[in-house]
Amino acid sequence: MNKTSKEELFRSVPVPRALASMAIPTIISQLINLIYNVVDTFFIGRTGNSYMVASVTVAFSVFMMTIAMGNLFGIGGGSLLARLMGQGRTEDARKVSAFSFYGAIAISLAYSLLIGLFLDPILRVLGASEATMDYARQYLWMTVILGTLPVVLSAVCGHLLRNAGYSRQASLGLSGGGILNIALDPLFMFVLLPSGWEVFGAALATLLSNIAACVYMLVMVKKVSGTAPLSMSLSQARAIRPEDRKGVFAVGVPSALLNALFDVANVFLNALMAAHGDLALAAIGIVMKTERLPNAVNIGICQGMLPIVAYNFSSGDRERMESVIRFARRIGLAISLFSILFFQLCAAPICRFFMSTSGSHAEQALETIAFATTFLRIRSFASPVQFMNFHSSYCLQAMGDGRDTLLHSVVRQLVFYIPFMFLFDRLFGVTGLVCAVIAGEGCGAVFALWLLRRWLKKLEK
């Protein structure tokens, strides 16, 4: 598909078809990446060792922080790139993509160094016990200290490709990495490495698959750079206009903070849950992986929506922009409501899928499954309001409203969700702690809708 047809996709193709063209490959990519993240927990659960599962729960928050760094230059640079395309400023868009590429490298290396220097203190703060510390340390050495660069670079290249109109190519790279990880997990965990090294094997499989995905993304960006406004040139990165560099950070920092605060909230959740025992901690780890199913679909919808909204915002076609926003909202809410019904009916077999009840750890595994089943049924009711938070935030990012995106990120997690955790945990114990997500995300969604409607009214005026 050439440049003209890419712009037609943003500008004139009917909204349902345009959103499907951008969102479906992204949803597939999100789901495959969800599967490979879940596969780690699944295969580790085959050991029946709840302490191994709990260790990955502790370590996963540190690993997921890499997604926030990917959003800093991926969504920050990608959103601006789409808006520059809408204005016809192709050369400036190339400079933005090059700046985002080298910014991703710099922040990845800094994060790896930080985690490497303070690994053990970080794990203790996150709730690692003596029984889980060694496993968590193994996981983070592979996936974060050695693995941050390929993860962040893949994410940034994927966002840039998607916002330039190459959603299918971006999704193929991320999906391919996920499929490779699924294949490598059992090979390293149960064939090549001895018993007791299952966590290390899962982490090594993740590292190698992310490296493979990163190589594919780099090749693809290079391949399409002749026709798309994408570049990996250091000289073009240095030549970015100051106002465009500011534009990357204006949206990228709030987007990164949105993900970072989400992970910080999970850190608090893990720490509070650890006070109720390693089995409860292992259970919430299973639930947080499982509930990402509807979230993965809805984030795919929002990421597919973002470049179309950004392009039409810059080109001045407000009617088409708002049509895309409304259509994406209806689809996402329908998926969220269906997911509630699905988890109410299927919570128990889903949770049993993650834990083996045979062997010496059977009693612990059964207790973990019981916890997880209850937790999943409760937390599923947060799915619609979680989607509304994602949807409103992505709309604000697409229109370059970094200030309100930042405000929403802070208020959603620090004013609502985290305080609700402490309050509900104190009042109602472990069940209250699980319920806090419904109250926190619900209040955050109301606030996000108010911010979005206020911004759209400003545009009308």
Task: Specify the pLDDT at position 328.
Answer: 94
Specify the pLDDT at position 5.
56
pLDDT band at 28 (very low <50, low <70, confident <90, very high): confident
Task: Record the tokens describing residue 449, joined without a space.
Answer: 């809708």
128 versus 218: the higher-pLDDT residue is 218
pLDDT at 144 over 80: yes
The structural domains of the chain, with segments of one domain joined by +, span 3-460
Average pLDDT in the chain? 86
Residue type, 454: R
List alpha helices for 141-241, DSSP H: 148-163, 167-186, 198-224, 234-238
Residue 228 reports pLDDT greater than 90: no
Closest CA to 372 of 390, 397, 354, 399: 354
- CA-based end-to-end distance of the chain: 37
Most confident of 101-105, 160-164, 362-366: 101-105
pTM of the model: 0.73
Residue 361: predicted pLDDT: 63
| DSSP 8-state code for residue 387 | H
Looking at residues 210-228, what average pLDDT do you find?
91
Residues 75 and 135 sit within 8 Å (Cβ to Cβ) = no
pLDDT of residue 264: 83
Answer whether residue 1 shows pLDDT above 60: no
Query: How confident is residue 3, by pLDDT bands cut at 50, 70 and 90?
Result: very low
Q: What's the 3-state SS for 270-302? A: HHHHHCCCHHHHHHHHHHHHHCHHHHHHHHHHH
pLDDT value of residue 4 = 41
User: What CA–CA distance (Å, rounded) separates 309 from 323?
Assistant: 9
> For the residues 351-367, what does the mean pLDDT come to?
73
Q: What's the whole-number mean pLDDT along residues 87-97?
A: 90
Dihedral of CA atoms 259, 263, 264, 266 in degrees, nearest 10, equals: 140
pLDDT at 36: 65
Q: Which amino acid is at 435?
A: C
Distance CA 223, CA 161 (A): 11
Give just the sign of the alpha carbon dihedral 163, 165, 171, 173: negative
| pLDDT for the residue 32 | 73
> Mean pLDDT over residues 189-209, rounded?
86
pLDDT value, residue 283: 86
Checking if the pLDDT of 425 tops 60, the result is yes
Give the separation between CA 342 and CA 355, rounded to whole angstroms.
20
Alpha helix (H) residue ranges in 383-461: 383-398, 402-410, 418-460
Average pLDDT over residues 310-330: 90
